[in-house]
């Protein structure tokens, strides 16, 4: 049986659909996903109102609803699920990690994996740092490019809390990758950390001549 909340949010999104916006969004995402055609501010407003009036009782229910939303074709339901997880951080536990991995590896594209990082991954590891080494190392050494991307980006907003030993290890392991999204992630992570320690980043780039031009360019963008 589908979760009753799924039917409700589907009705709400369908009532706010816009075919013109949907067509443009689908084209922007290279025709990989269907869309209702709801712009982000309206979608978030609708979602937040839904979260306030629909209580999730435990992690099992949260996980089930997230997965059901992700299995639907419309991208807005995937965004809804990501932000639903972020909204219910009081339910987070070690059981959240397999769910996060599932989200990263299903219906994967930069928008969903990066949003999952913003709303859940980075915040989860700040709350539960004891799981960082085990899980992010596994992601970094996996064959899935999106897991690799997240191993590099999970510290994106950590600033002075960034573990530079982990960042160094993960970048060095992936520096010869040819995938655009991994190369971009390396540069993005370094550029972000440059706001905290620019000298460290400049020194790192100089010490790693094998980094792709894309990674170097992104890393030193504001130097």
| pLDDT tens readout for residues 51-83 | 999 999 999 999 999 999 999 999 999 999 999
pTM attached to this predicted model: 0.95
For residues 18 and 123, state if they share a domain: yes
Q: What is the CATH number of the domain that holds 183?
A: 1.25.10.90
The number of folded domains in the chain is 2
Share of the chain above pLDDT 70, in %: 100
Domain stop point among 75, 95, 127: 127
Q: What is the pLDDT of residue 1?
A: 77
> Is the pLDDT score of 177 beyond 80?
yes
For residues 7 and 113, state if they share a domain: yes
Q: What is the pLDDT of residue 222?
A: 84
Q: What is the pLDDT of residue 118?
A: 98
> Is the pLDDT score of 89 beyond 90?
yes
Mean pLDDT, residues 100-118: 98
Neighbours of 134 (CB within 10 A): 9
For residues 31 and 113, state if they share a domain: yes
Mean pLDDT, residues 105-133: 98
Neighbours of 29 (CB within 10 A): 16
Share of the chain above pLDDT 90, in %: 97
Domain that holds residue 47: 1-127
Domain stop point among 105, 127, 149: 127
Q: What is the pLDDT of residue 2?
A: 79
- CB under 8 Å to 211, separation ≥6 — which residues? 171, 175, 186, 205, 219
What is the distance between the alpha carbons of residues 205 and 211, in angstroms, rounded to a whole number? 8
| Mean pLDDT of the residues in the chain | 97
Q: What is the DSSP string of 34-66?
A: B-----HHHHHHHHHHHHHHS---SHHHHHHHH
């Amino acid at each position: 049986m589908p979760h009753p909340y799924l039917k409700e949010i589907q009705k709400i999104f369908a009532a706010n659909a816009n075919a013109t916006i949907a067509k443009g969004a689908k084209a922007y995402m290279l025709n990989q996903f269907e869309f209702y055609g709801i712009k982000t501010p309206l979608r978030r407003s609708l979602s937040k109102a839904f979260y306030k009036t629909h209580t999730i009782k435990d992690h099992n229910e949260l996980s089930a609803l997230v997965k059901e939303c992700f299995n639907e074709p419309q991208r807005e339901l995937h965004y809804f699920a990501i932000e639903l997880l972020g909204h219910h951080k009081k339910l987070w536990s070690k059981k959240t990690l397999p769910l996060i991995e599932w989200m990263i590896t299903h219906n994967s594209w930069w928008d969903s994996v990066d949003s999952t990082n913003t709303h859940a991954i980075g915040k989860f590891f700040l709350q539960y740092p004891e799981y960082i080494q085990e899980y992010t190392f596994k992601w970094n050494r996996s064959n899935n490019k999106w897991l690799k991307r997240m191993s590099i980006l999970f510290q994106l907003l950590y600033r002075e809390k960034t573990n530079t030993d982990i960042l160094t290890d993960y970048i060095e392991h992936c520096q010869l990758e040819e995938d655009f999204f991994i190369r971009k992630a390396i540069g993005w992570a370094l550029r972000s950390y440059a706001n905290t320690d620019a000298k460290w980043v400049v020194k790192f780039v100089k010490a790693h001549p094998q980094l792709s031009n894309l990674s170097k360019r992104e890393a030193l963008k504001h130097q």
